[in-house]
Structure formats: structure tokens, C-alpha cells
Amino acid sequence: MSDKKPISSVNDFVVRFANVNGSGSASANEMFARAILRHGVPVSPRNIFPSNIQGLPTWYEVRVTEDGHLGARGGVDMMVAMNPQTWDKDVAGIEPGGYLFYDSTKPMPSAKFRDDITVIGVPLTAITNSTYTDPRQRQLFKNIIYLGALSALLEMDPKLIEQLIGEQYKGKEKLLSSNVHALHLGRDWALQNLKCPIGLRVRKSDKVGDRIFIEGNSAAALGAVYGGATVCAWYPITPSSSVAEAFTAHCKKYRHDPETGKAKYAIVQGEDELASIGIVIGASWNGARAFTATSGPGISLMTEFIGLSYFAEIPAVIMNIQRAGPSTGMPTRTQQCDIIACAYASHGDTKHVLLFPEDPAEAFEFAAAAFDLAERLQTTIFLMLDLDIGMNHRLCRPLKWDDAKQYDRGKVMTAEMLEEGRDFGRYLDVDGDGIPYRTYPGTHPTKGSYFTRGTSRDRYARYSEEGSVYADNMQRLVRKFETAQDLVPRPLQANAERPTKYGVIYFGSTSPAMDEAIGLLEARGHQLDRLRIRAFPFHSSVASFLAEHDFVYVVEQNRDSQLRQLIVNENGIDPVRLVPIVHYDGTPITARFIAKAIGDHQDHLKVTPLRKAVS
């Protein structure tokens, strides 16, 4: 051991588990995170998994954070190294003064360790082999045994873990007792053979409150249930598949007619993404609330239909759980890289509504709202999540629903309205907001029928290639998009303590890291006003924010600063005033990264002012 002092920290550290995919570790690792939550201490866990099925490396990281920072921190204080394949990299990743926990059954050469970390060996394989005969049991219980050992090392209350095991195996007494037994095998071995606790400790606190712990994809799926989606068509793709799977599970629980047992929903696994969005468009055309969930490659395939939705004005909801692109990119790594692809999807002049939830609570709210918006605006609405929100559990405020809420079905002309003699032109802008009335098929024997098409037509849906008719329609679509500005969630602004001419714009899953970064920046003496964008089209307050600041940083997780491009494009602003802060290696952006990038730029500005901004 070098003279580097072991890290000592209570309720503020990062533990990373390195496992082999398929070894059954996920359940134990997640239980570790939940157990800390039960201590009243916030956690921010993340799955880190390469694109593989079984036998290859996988990691699970738990950030224990008394202060409630939910972004990734970067760095590892304790590595639970259970995968020999990744040993060298895992050991190298430990912070100086950190801890290495490993299976010491087989002696390791000293060269495999570092002298600036504390090495903790537990003979996990030996313990399991002496206790269990079944190979699968040996594998599975090894995970619970290391959980038990960790509970002793980190001074966790074993009763809280037992409680979790009890909830997980409720009604399965045999599994319950065997898991509790394994937990204590590891815990007792550690207490008897190791110096417990170590420098990293978990103390009971009250910082979790009434917050819930849920994955973004599951919350979005629940939002679809509450938002009245009755048709879901999807095609499996990482990291979005769990949206449709969760929707299926929620529907099975909450959407069956109690008398007949029949389903008040239809879920179809399409043959591909094209069919999935086609089914959504067909269902929405016919008046049902429908959605699909996909990721970047799926968006690419869907773009023809997205153009049809825009031009023929058919509602659709697409939940895009973004991953690293382009092409197949890194399927299991996170990015915010489909902004431009979605905002202007399809050929010709198009603009689409994008919603950017920051956490599962907003994923729920925005998912439900997406169906109202789709029907109100008669167009595609994108719910832009990403892997970091979608596939990780995150602490968030409880989900809320107003029982008085009725669905906004938009401008639908009924048989009665047609009977009254109302003038029905499918593409007639009667209210000046760019949004026309539509009728559902089958509405009236002689009135209100029309032909939907992707070709140009006049206000009464009659095919037309007249230039003026086409332009009139395209202008109305612009008006409709302007109307959308006031219907979508508005940006949220938070000002610095002292007046500043610098601002920062950010969105979506970047949010928790940004919130934390502000504190780090303030510590460096930098004041920044913040604007969290929650939707496209941009509300007028975005332009105001830009006008009020000399320089605005745009923080995002893609190479080309796509949100910045969109802001420049839509606001006609001098690009030099928008400073890109980009992170795109597929890992979640961290507060450390943001604070360094903005802080360095701010320091530079102090000594070398850039050319005066053009307002």
C-alpha cells in the first residue's frame, strides 16, 4: 500500500460491479441500490452493457449520493470485480485510495493489484462450493453472498436487505429463506474475517422522501396507458423494447374489461419499423390513440411515414429511446443524437414536435401529453428519451394524475356538426391556428368523407397540383407549427444568484449532471443562468434568453451539437454566441465534464474576449 490514504466517505461514493452477462448478478446488484435507498440515501444507478447477449462483460454502477445528484459522477471508489476478462481495466479504473473487492478463492499474483488501493478478498467460490451442490445455485447465490459481504463492509442494515428479499420473493418461502441465508453467509464471513466497516459507509438518512425509483421506459409506457393509448405497434430494438413490454404488462393489469375479460387495447409486434408506424398511422387516422417505440435506426426506417403524417395530418406518437449512432452505432450506449433526424424527418419541408423529458416523472407526463398533442395538432409527436433515462432506474418525484382530466381529441367534426350544416373542408383553417377539422371514417352517410393522401390537395382534400394551392397548404402547416409553440411544455429558466451575461441551455437526460455542474461552476467563480428546453418548437422564451445573454453554452450528448444547430436554424441567431459543449462517447455526461468544459471556456473568456456578439 502506498501512502495514498484510503477514501473515507459517508453516503457519497461510487460502487461499480463488473460481472459476466447471464450470471444472474443484475438482481443482486439492483437490490444493493434499493437497499441503500431504504436507508434514506439517494442513489443513481446505471447499467453499462456492451451489445451482447451472454458470457460477455456487463457493469452496474451505483452512485451513492447524500446530496441527491442523479447524474453520473465519473470515477469508481469501489470496484466489485467479478469478471476476470475485464480485470485489468476494472482495477485500473479505481480512484486512488479506492477499494477493490474480489473473489479470493484462487490466489492472484501481486502484479494484478495496485498499491494505492485497498484490496478486499472474499473466497466467494469456496463459500458457494462448500454450501451448494447445484451449479446454477452456486452461480446465483454467489451474487447474494457478495451482497452480504458488502453490507458488512459498508455498514448497511441487513434487516433492510432482508425486507427487500422478502418483497421480491413474497409467497415463495423457499426462495426467500435461501436468499436470506446466502446474504448472511457473506455478511458473517466478512464480519469474522475482514476489518468492517471500511472507509466507505452508508448511514441512515432522510434524503429520499416520497420519491419513487423507476425506469424511464416503464414510466413512459405508463404515461401511454394514462394518456389513453389503445393501439401499440412496435418492433424490438435496443434500448426501446422495454417500452412496449412495459406497456403490455401495464395493459394486462389495468386495461381489461372486468365483465368480459376482454382487452381495451391492441398490441402488435410489427414485422419491422415500417409496419409499426404504418399501423400507428392507420389506427390514428381512424380515431384511436396509437404509438410506437423505437430507436435511431427505427426512426430512419419510419421517415417516409413520418412525412405522410406531417403532410396528410394524421396523429402519431413515436417514443424514440436514443442510442449512439449513426448507423448501428453503439446500440447499448446512450446519446442525444436524433434531434435533427427527428425534427426534420422525411423528405421535403417538414417540422415535427419533439418533447424532451428530463426524468421518468416527466417521461410519464410527456408521454400522456403526447397523445393530446398528437390529436390536437394532427401530426407526429416525438417523445425523445435516451438509454440513460430509458433503461436505468432513477429517483424522481411521484407520478401524478388529475382525475378530472379528459382527453383532448382535437378538432373532430361529428355527424351532428355535419348535420348542422357546418362547412367541412379537411384542410380548411377555420380558426386561424393552422389546425383543420377532421372526421373519422364512418361518421356520416353523405357528409364529411374525404380522401387522405400524401399528394398535394386543396382545402377540401381534392387532389391538386396547382402551385398556389400547394403553397397555401404549406403555409398553413407553418401556422400550425407556430400554434404548437404554446401547446408544448415550456422551457424552465433558473437564474444565477448574481446577474450574468452568460447562460446555458440543456435538455433531457443531461439535466441532473447540469444541475450538479452549476454548483461546481459556482465554486470556480462562474455564474450562469440556466434554461432547460423541454420541447421543439421552441417557445419564444428561448429567443428571449438568447437575446439576454452574450454567450450561451449548449450542453448535449452528440458530436455535432444538434440542438444548437436547431436553435441557430430556428432563431436566426449568430452561431458564435452559442458555444457547443458536447459529450458523445456513449457514456452519460457527468457534472465534472460539464463544469470543466464550461469553466475552461469561461476562464478563457476572461483573458481573451471573443469578438463582440451580434444581437
Partner 1 sequence: MTYIAKPKFHHPGLKKNALGYTHRDYEGKISTLCAGCGHDSITASIIEACYELSIEPHRVAKISGIGCSSKTPDYFLGNSHGFNSVHGRMPSVLTGANLANRDLIYLGVSGDGDSASIGFGQFAHSIRRGVNMTYIVENNGVYGLTKGQFSATADRGSKSKKGVTNTDNAIDLVAIALQLGATFIARSFSGDKSQLVPLIAAAIGHKGASFIDVISPCIAFNNHAGSTKSFDYVREHNDAVNRLDVLVGRDPIAVDYAPGTVQVVEQHDGSKIALRKIDADYDPHDRLGAQTFLARHAAKGQIVTGLLYVDPDAEDLHEHLNTVETPLNSLEADTLCPGSAVLDKINASLR
Which residues, numbered 377-406, are part of the site for partner 1 (CB under 8 A)?
398-403, 405-406
3: DSSP letter: S
Of 51, 535, 95, 592, the C-alpha closest to 334 is 51
x/- mask, partner 1, residues 31-70, rule CB under 8 A, reads ------x---------------------------------
Q: Is 199 or 278 the residue whose CB approaches partner 1 more closely?
A: 278
Q: How far is the CB of 64 from partner 1 (least distance, A)?
A: 17
Sequence-distant (6+) residues with CB within 8 A of 355 are: 366, 369, 370, 373, 381, 382, 383, 384, 488, 489, 534, 535
Do residues 184 and 162 make contact, with C-beta atoms less than 8 angstroms apart?
Answer: no
- CA distances (Å), 255 to each of 38, 209, 258, 262, 355, in order? 31, 31, 9, 9, 26
Of 553, 604, 562, 551, the C-alpha closest to 584 is 562
Q: Is 444 or 501 the residue whose CB approaches partner 1 more closely?
A: 444
Do residues 337 and 562 make contact, with C-beta atoms less than 8 angstroms apart?
Answer: yes
Q: Is 130 or 407 the residue whose CB approaches partner 1 more closely?
A: 407
Do residues 73 and 238 make contact, with C-beta atoms less than 8 angstroms apart?
Answer: no
Select from 173-181, 260-268, 377-385, 566-574 the region that touches partner 1 (CB under 8 A): 260-268
Told to check if 478 binds partner 1 by CB under 8 A, we report no
- Residue keyed to cell 429511446: 321
Q: How far is the CB of 249 from partner 1 (least distance, A)?
A: 12
Q: Is 75 or 270 the residue whose CB approaches partner 1 more closely?
A: 270
Q: How far is the CB of 153 from partner 1 (least distance, A)?
A: 25
Q: How far is the CB of 264 from partner 1 (least distance, A)?
A: 5
Q: How far is the CB of 268 from partner 1 (least distance, A)?
A: 7
* Grid cell locating 331: 446500440
**Among 173, 272, 419, 482, interactor with partner 1 by CB under 8 A:** 272
What is the C-alpha to C-alpha distance for residues 307 and 474, in angstroms, rounded to an integer?
A: 13
Q: How far is the CB of 455 from partner 1 (least distance, A)?
A: 7
**Among 83, 151, 320, 439, interactor with partner 1 by CB under 8 A:** 439
Do residues 381 and 373 make contact, with C-beta atoms less than 8 angstroms apart?
Answer: yes
Q: Is 256 or 596 the residue whose CB approaches partner 1 more closely?
A: 256
Q: How far is the CB of 148 from partner 1 (least distance, A)?
A: 23
Select from 60-68, 253-261, 555-563, 588-596 the region that touches partner 1 (CB under 8 A): 253-261
Q: How far is the CB of 270 from partner 1 (least distance, A)?
A: 7
What is the C-alpha to C-alpha distance for residues 330 and 361, in angstroms, rounded to an integer?
A: 27
What is the C-alpha to C-alpha distance for residues 97 and 78, in angstroms, rounded to an integer?
A: 9
Told to check if 266 binds partner 1 by CB under 8 A, we report yes
**Among 87, 113, 440, 470, interactor with partner 1 by CB under 8 A:** 440
- Which residues between 7 and 36 bind partner 1 (CB under 8 A)? none
Select from 15-23, 91-99, 220-228, 585-593 the region that touches partner 1 (CB under 8 A): 220-228
Q: Is 194 or 274 the residue whose CB approaches partner 1 more closely?
A: 274
Q: How far is the CB of 552 from partner 1 (least distance, A)?
A: 36
**Among 36, 279, 391, 542, interactor with partner 1 by CB under 8 A:** 279
Q: How far is the CB of 234 from partner 1 (least distance, A)?
A: 12
**Among 68, 166, 197, 282, interactor with partner 1 by CB under 8 A:** 282
- Which residues between 339 and 368 bind partner 1 (CB under 8 A)? none
* Grid cell locating 541: 422564451
Q: How far is the CB of 369 from partner 1 (least distance, A)?
A: 13
Helix (H) or strand (E) holding 292: strand 290-294
Q: 42: helix, coil or strand? A: coil
Sequence-distant (6+) residues with CB within 8 A of 360 are: 212, 214, 215, 216, 218, 219, 220, 389, 394, 396
Told to check if 268 binds partner 1 by CB under 8 A, we report yes
Told to check if 281 binds partner 1 by CB under 8 A, we report yes
Told to check if 206 binds partner 1 by CB under 8 A, we report no
Do residues 98 and 81 make contact, with C-beta atoms less than 8 angstroms apart?
Answer: no
- Strands 12-20 and 57-65, by their bridges, are antiparallel
Do residues 108 and 102 make contact, with C-beta atoms less than 8 angstroms apart?
Answer: yes
Q: 281: helix, coil or strand? A: helix
∠ at Cα 395 (52, 329), nearest 5°? 30
Q: How far is the CB of 254 from partner 1 (least distance, A)?
A: 4
Select from 84-92, 333-341, 436-444, 547-555 the region that touches partner 1 (CB under 8 A): 436-444
Told to check if 460 binds partner 1 by CB under 8 A, we report no
**Among 284, 294, 350, 378, interactor with partner 1 by CB under 8 A:** 284
Do residues 557 and 583 make contact, with C-beta atoms less than 8 angstroms apart?
Answer: yes
Q: How far is the CB of 350 from partner 1 (least distance, A)?
A: 14
Q: Is 96 or 398 the residue whose CB approaches partner 1 more closely?
A: 398
Full DSSP string of 524-535: TT---EEEEE-E
Burial class (CB in 10 A: 0-12, 13-18, 19+), 154: buried
**Among 148, 287, 489, 586, interactor with partner 1 by CB under 8 A:** 287
x/- mask, partner 1, residues 295-314, rule CB under 8 A, reads ---------xx--x------
Q: How far is the CB of 464 from partner 1 (least distance, A)?
A: 8
Q: How many residues interact with partner 1 (rule CB under 8 A)?
A: 73
Q: What backbone phi and psi angles, to 5 degrees, belong to 504?
A: -140, 135
Told to check if 280 binds partner 1 by CB under 8 A, we report yes
What is the C-alpha to C-alpha distance for residues 410 and 433, in angstroms, rounded to an integer?
A: 12
Helix (H) or strand (E) holding 222: helix 216-226
